[in-house]
Structure formats: C-alpha cells, structure tokens
Chain A
C-alpha cells in the first residue's frame, strides 16, 4: 500500500459504488441462490422448497455421468495445458531467437487469441465433418478415425479444436517472459555452457517459471470454462456424454433437466476445485519458483 494516502472520506463511497453495486446484485446475490439451490430440493410443481442437507451432493457422486465428466475435464485440461504450453513455448523461443521480422511473427501469431471459442468450434466442425472435413478424412485414412463412435477420436477432435487458439495466449506470455530476462544473464551463461539446448533447460527455463505457472492457471481456467462454446458447437458431448466437461454437464442438467439442485451442487463442487487450485498456486508454487 501507498505511504501517502487520502484520509477516509465520503467521496470513497462514490468511487466504490458502481463496482460494489454490480458485484453485490449480479454476483453475490446469484451465489447465495446457488448455495440455496444446492442444499434444497424443489417439489415437482416448483412451489415448495425443502432443506435436504447434502443429498444433492450425494446424488451427483452416485451419478456415473458426473464421474465421466470429471475424468474428461481432468484429462482435457491436462492435455490442453501441456500441448498449448509446449507449442507456445517453442514458438516464443524461436521468435525470441530471430533477428529479423520479430514483430511480424508476433502479429501473425497472436491474432487467433481474439477469436471466440464458439467460432473456433464452428470452424473445427467443418474440418471434422464426415462429408467434407479434411482432417476427418486424413485421420480416417490413417487409423479409421470416427469421433461419433470412438471416445479416443472425440478426445483428439476436441484437443485439436481447443488447443488451436490457446497456443496464441501461451506464445504471447512466454515471449514477454523471455524478453524480460536480462541480457547479461544470457551472455554469462554462454561463457559457462556451450550447448544451447542445455543452456535453455538449466538457465532460461527456470527463469521462466513465474510465466509458466501463470500460464498453467490460465490454461486450466480456459479448459474448465471457455471450452463450453467449443464443445457445444462440435461434439455436444458425443459419443454418449463422454466429452462433456463439468461446466457443460452442470449447464445441461440445469437447462435441459431443470434440475437446479443438482446444477447448484455441481457449481459448488467446481468452486471448490477452483479454490483448491488457487490456494495451491499461492501457497505451494509461488514459494518454490525463481524470480529474476
């Protein structure tokens, strides 16, 4: 905090009012309702409400579809994080290496970041359609690819669709991280170590740790929440609900099934997962990384 500040006075309420007002009405009020939904059950006609303790939670854990969605979400976020992080880092290192055309490369690589996940999904749809999809036919020739039936193939489909635009975000942040490393550190390391490959893993990569962990969080958040638009425009959960993320399943249960109790309980489970990841990041990872 600043050493010099204004004394508390009435104008602070004016400055705080817009955001606090919006957060209280459009965020805290719905969150309170989410908790109410999660711990109550509505009768069939929607008139009465009964407090049922953890019944909604027990119900979702008994639901095999929830465990399938859980498994898919974990695998999907892990693979997306790994694939986009690795490709983003590879491209950033190369862009940091070149003498000429650095800014042109940057421009040509960052624009997919701006495209909506749902638009990416609609596009991916065209490349994986049975009728004229180029990738569908390429993979089909290679190993009989058929995402309508094979779980593995539908994973491949969603991983390609989900990674494409996220590579850009990883590229931008890794490039910024690389450019922030002091030139003198790099010069000194060249004297000590001839192999540029080893130099990268022993000097540069450890210095990139803050960026890497920031991107892990960004990528996991993306895979959890932003991929809704991709799934809803591509597989819609096919084959038989195997490719639904937790967010997608919660939405479908609430919207199609009108089961708000289950949707509320699923939302609270997601909040807990996000909370755990955040605490893990602050407590565990932040203490162990090197800052320049």
Chain B
C-alpha cells in the first residue's frame, strides 16, 4: 500500500528500460532473417524475413573462420568446453581453498590470506604477455588447457565461498566432530551439500565469465581449430546477414543460463539462504 505512489509512472519508466535493452537485439535478429541485398539497400529491418533457416544453417555448418577451416558449430563446442572448464576448475579449487581459510587453524593464516586475495587486483589483462610466454614455455598454446587455466586463476569465487562459510554456525563443526567426522568427511558430507546454492551461483558466474573471454583466446589460439565464439565474431568472414545470425547465436548460451538459473545466481551473489 505504501509503495503504491505513482505506480503508472514506474511502469512507464520500466517499459522504456526494457525497450532500450530489447530493441537493438530485436533489430539485429529481424535483420538476420533477410537477404544481404535487402540489408544493403534498405538498412536494418524491423519485421521478420523468410531466410531464417537458410542463414542460420549456413553459419552453423558451412562458413565459419577466416580461412573457412572452422564452422560456427565447432566454435560453440570450443566455447562450451572452455566455459565449463573454467567453471569447474575455479569452483572446485576455490571451494577447497576457502574451506582451509575458514575451518583450519593454519600457521601464517594472514600471509596465506593475502597471497590469495591480492591476486584479485591483478586481472589477466595486466599480465597478458608474460602469461602467454609462460603458456608457451609449458607448451599449452593452442590447447583447451591453454584456454581454461589462466582464466581460472582467480580468487573471486574463493572470496564468495569464504564469506558464505563464515555465516555457517559454529555448532555444525562441533556436532560433526562429536560424530567423529574427519576433515574430508566434514567437507564432503556437510559443507558441500550446504553450499549448493552458492556453488551453482559461482558456477554460472564463472561459466559466463569464461564464455565471454575475448582477448585471451585471440592471443593463445593461432590455430582456427581452437577458436571460440566471442573471438570468432570479429574474425568471421561472410555476408552481413550471416554475421547478424552469428551475433544472435553467440548471445544465446550465456543469456539463457542467466535467465533460467536467475534465482540461484541472485541468491548466491547476495548470500541469502
């Protein structure tokens, strides 16, 4: 009742906001269903055309990379592998590190804390050439591990898990100790099931983060076989409608994940159980 002031005005503002978000994507989508000559002569289209199947299958299966050695389908597979890899590696390693930081009486705990969290201040962009030279020393250029590992070297998820563990009541460990749980049992049987929402949230976060990488994949893949979707967009040759179709398809995986798993994502980020 109290919030009922000027409700119509609120709806209007929100609708304008949604319009600004949706209209650019809609125009590109509608235009992607026309022929290239229509776009070139009449500009972007608001209404749907009849070339949807033709344009999309062409991009997906035939014309991909600059040298046409890769299809968009393969790029999607690469992106999916990379994003899943980043999510798995960073979530599992962060979960374990946060466990030690919160639940173990470690010597040099403060030093350990800083060694881990100072890294948040140094994003990959600031150490990109040295990271490349490390990767080539380790022979990981043009490989899936080369795409995954440097992106997973982040303590962001560790910070979130640590905050979350600190909200769990002390009694949990007390009673688990009475039941004779060792460090491993307590982690697997108590902590991991309790952190389910948080794990899903961090998984989504890191998946989208991995999928959206642009600069690192450009640097670390000289072979078209390892191209990902986001970097492939700029490299791609072909007609304008094929590019439109590729842009639209490239958004679908992360946007779908955010929309479908929205509840987990928001719950995890704001830590309400």
Contact = CB atoms under 8 A, between A and B. Distances in A.
Interface of A: 1-9, 11-12, 15-16, 18-20, 22-23, 25-27, 29-34, 37, 87, 90-91, 94-99, 101, 105-119, 122-123, 126-127, 131-132, 134, 164, 167-168, 171-172, 176, 180, 186-187, 190, 196, 221, 225, 228-229, 232-233, 247, 251, 254-255, 260, 263-264, 267, 270-271, 274-275, 278
B121 A271 contact: yes
Nearest to A97: B10
A15 B214 contact: no
B102 to A, nearest CB: 6
A268 B130 CA distance: 13
Contacts of B244: 126
Q: Which of B13, B89, B211 has most chain A Cβ within 10 Å? A: B13
Contacts of B174: 4
B201 to A, nearest CB: 13
Q: Which of B116, B182, B233 has most chain A Cβ within 10 Å? A: B233
Contacts of A34: 126-127, 130
24 contacts: A8-B106, A18-B97, A20-B97, A30-B130, A34-B126, A91-B17, A94-B14, A97-B7, A105-B14, A110-B258, A112-B21, A113-B258, A114-B208, A115-B212, A119-B230, A119-B233, A123-B28, A126-B44, A132-B43, A164-B24, A176-B269, A196-B5, A251-B128, A264-B130
Interface of B: 2-7, 9-11, 13-14, 17-18, 20-22, 24-25, 27-28, 39-40, 43-44, 89, 92-94, 96-97, 99-100, 102-107, 109, 112, 115-116, 119, 121-123, 125-131, 133-134, 138, 149-150, 152-153, 155, 158, 166, 170, 173-174, 177, 182-184, 186-187, 208, 211-215, 219, 230-231, 233-234, 243-244, 247, 250-251, 254-255, 257-259, 262, 266, 269-270
Nearest to A165: B21
B106 to A, nearest CB: 6
A90 B25 CA distance: 22
A114 B205 CA distance: 9
A271 B99 CA distance: 29
Q: Which of B22, B93, B134, B155 has most chain A Cβ within 10 Å? A: B93
Contacts of B4: 99
Contacts of A99: 3-4, 7
Contacts of A119: 212, 230, 233, 247, 250-251
Given A11-B184, A132-B43, A232-B234, A29 B134 contact: yes
B2 A187 contact: yes
Nearest to A102: B14
Q: Which 9 A-B pairs have the closest CB atoms?
A: A116-B212, A33-B130, A30-B130, A132-B43, A114-B254, A18-B93, A19-B93, A94-B10, A229-B214
A31 B125 CA distance: 11
B14 A95 contact: yes
User: What is the predominant secondary structure among interface residues of chain A facing chain B?
Assistant: helix
Contacts, number: 259
Contacts of B28: 123, 126
A233 B134 contact: no
Contacts of B128: 251, 254
Contacts of A4: 170, 173-174, 177
Given A2-B173, A90-B13, 16 more contacts: A1-B102, A15-B187, A19-B96, A25-B134, A27-B153, A108-B22, A110-B262, A111-B21, A112-B21, A115-B254, A116-B254, A118-B230, A122-B247, A229-B230, A247-B126, A255-B219
A192 B98 CA distance: 46
A168 B208 contact: no
Given A11-B183, A271-B121, A116 B250 contact: yes
Contacts of B122: 27, 31, 271, 274
B170 A26 contact: no
A122 B104 contact: no
A16 B97 contact: yes
Q: Which of A3, A112, A275 has most chain B Cβ within 10 Å? A: A112
Nearest to A267: B126
Given A116-B214, A251-B128, A26 B102 contact: no
